[in-house]
Amino acid sequence: MTTTKRVALVGCGTVSSNHLHALLSVEGICVCALCDVRIERAEQARDTFFPQARVYTDFDTMLREEELYAVHICTPHYLHAPMTKAALARDIHVFLEKPMAITAEDMDALIEAEKNSRGRVCVCFQNRFSPAFLRAKELCDADGGIQTAAATVIWQRTREYYTESGWRGRMATEGGGVMVNQAIHTIDLLCQCLGKPTEVIATCANHHLKDVNDVEDTCEGIIRFDSGKQASFFATTASVAQKDITSILLFTAHHTVEIRMPYLYIDAETVEKTEDDRWFVGKACYGSGHACLIPRFYEALEGGDPMPVSLVSARAAHDIFLAAHRSNDTPVSIS
């Protein structure tokens, strides 16, 4: 007889409902603990999703008092590395929201900590498993593969988005702006398409909300890959338009496939809708990928299989945002 695995979540803010909603349909687990420094948020998550869960305001106390199989980490960026290390030290598996960490030292330390633990870490790059991305890759592969790509992330984030969070917009707590928070998914997909990044040339700027933010709201540049291929990108949270648009153009020998989840535009003529709106939970820009990736994480743990998004495979997108921050319009190598 298999026993029910005990799972917890820390950080019951905006994105946590995507995790908790997905966890409702994972078999063989129970969400037994929820933690947030703002207890009312943990209580609301409990009342909405898992009424039997215990509520905590301190992460270490939760780790000490609960015998956990896995923990979902949905806290501000600067807490990702220390919380993941604390869980791994107790051999607890971690489903970790992006970014994995905000400094290169912490990224190295996490990869090392996982090697010394029986716990495994999966990073939440859910868009790798979105039907739109998988279908786009399939179409490109059928035409001999992707030759080059261009991505735009044009979003608007308001003053309140930063001032009310207590952590966004600050280098010390967010680790950067649009590159580390909003564009990192798109950058990760470019790496999935074109290979290992070797060089970045970029410019970053803070155009608006200068009085509240010390991070970039806009960044553009070129990424070169070991395959010899290149991608260009432009990302901003300073858009004046209220609708967030993320577009990835994939160029093959004869065609252009544009991903605008959940839609694909093939040669700007044919439109395919790759999934039903009912799969979307929370903000539309998150896509439906949490519901695709979270069950895969538990299946991989159960089967002893590689993590669907390992720390090592997630590292490339992180190296790119670190290089973009340093570039200042000169090429930065990525080893």
Ligand X SMILES: NC(=O)c1ccc[n+]([C@@H]2O[C@H](COP(=O)([O-])OP(=O)(O)OC[C@H]3O[C@@H](n4cnc5c(N)ncnc54)[C@H](O)[C@@H]3O)[C@@H](O)[C@H]2O)c1
Alpha-carbon distances of 151 from 95, 184, 246, 315, rounded to whole Å: 27, 11, 8, 19
Residues, the chain: 335
Helices (H) and strands (E) in the chain, counts: 11, 15
73 within 8 A of 297, measured Cβ to Cβ? no
Query: What is the C-alpha to C-alpha distance for residues 150 and 231, in angstroms, rounded to an integer?
Result: 5
Q: Quote the Cα angle for 91-96-97, to 5°.
A: 170
Give contact residues for ligand X (rule: CB under 6 A). Answer: 10-16, 35-38, 41, 59, 74-77, 79, 97-98, 124, 126, 165, 181, 286
- Minimum Å gap between C-beta 124 and ligand X is 5
- Minimum Å gap between C-beta 258 and ligand X is 20
CB-based contacts of 128: which residues, under 8 Å, 6+ apart? 188, 189, 192, 289, 293, 308, 309
- Minimum Å gap between C-beta 41 and ligand X is 5
User: Of 60 and 226, which has the nearer Cβ to ligand X?
Assistant: 60
- Minimum Å gap between C-beta 36 and ligand X is 4
- Minimum Å gap between C-beta 132 and ligand X is 14
- Minimum Å gap between C-beta 16 and ligand X is 6
Q: Between β-strands 5-10 and 29-35, what pairing exists: parallel, antiparallel or unpaired?
A: parallel
CB-based contacts of 127: which residues, under 8 Å, 6+ apart? 133, 185, 186, 188, 189, 261, 287, 289
User: Of 55 and 250, which has the nearer Cβ to ligand X?
Assistant: 55
Residue nearest to ligand X (CB): 13
- Minimum Å gap between C-beta 262 and ligand X is 14
Query: What is the C-alpha to C-alpha distance for residues 116 and 181, in angstroms, rounded to an integer?
Result: 28
What tokens were used for 224?
């070169």
How many other CB atoms sit within 10 Å of the CB of residue 159?
Answer: 13
Secondary structure (3-state) at 287:
coil
User: Of 213 and 251, which has the nearer Cβ to ligand X?
Assistant: 213
Segment holding 47, helix H or strand E: helix 39-48
User: Of 97 and 140, which has the nearer Cβ to ligand X?
Assistant: 97
User: Of 75 and 218, which has the nearer Cβ to ligand X?
Assistant: 75
98 within 8 A of 122, measured Cβ to Cβ? no
- For residue 197, say if its preceding peptide bond is cis, omega within 30 degrees of 0: no
User: Of 7 and 124, which has the nearer Cβ to ligand X?
Assistant: 124
96 within 8 A of 77, measured Cβ to Cβ? no
How many other CB atoms sit within 10 Å of the CB of residue 333?
Answer: 10
User: Of 311 and 332, which has the nearer Cβ to ligand X?
Assistant: 311
Query: What is the C-alpha to C-alpha distance for residues 248 and 257, in angstroms, rounded to an integer?
Result: 8
- Minimum Å gap between C-beta 7 and ligand X is 16
User: Of 12 and 140, which has the nearer Cβ to ligand X?
Assistant: 12
- Minimum Å gap between C-beta 280 and ligand X is 12
User: Of 14 and 270, which has the nearer Cβ to ligand X?
Assistant: 14
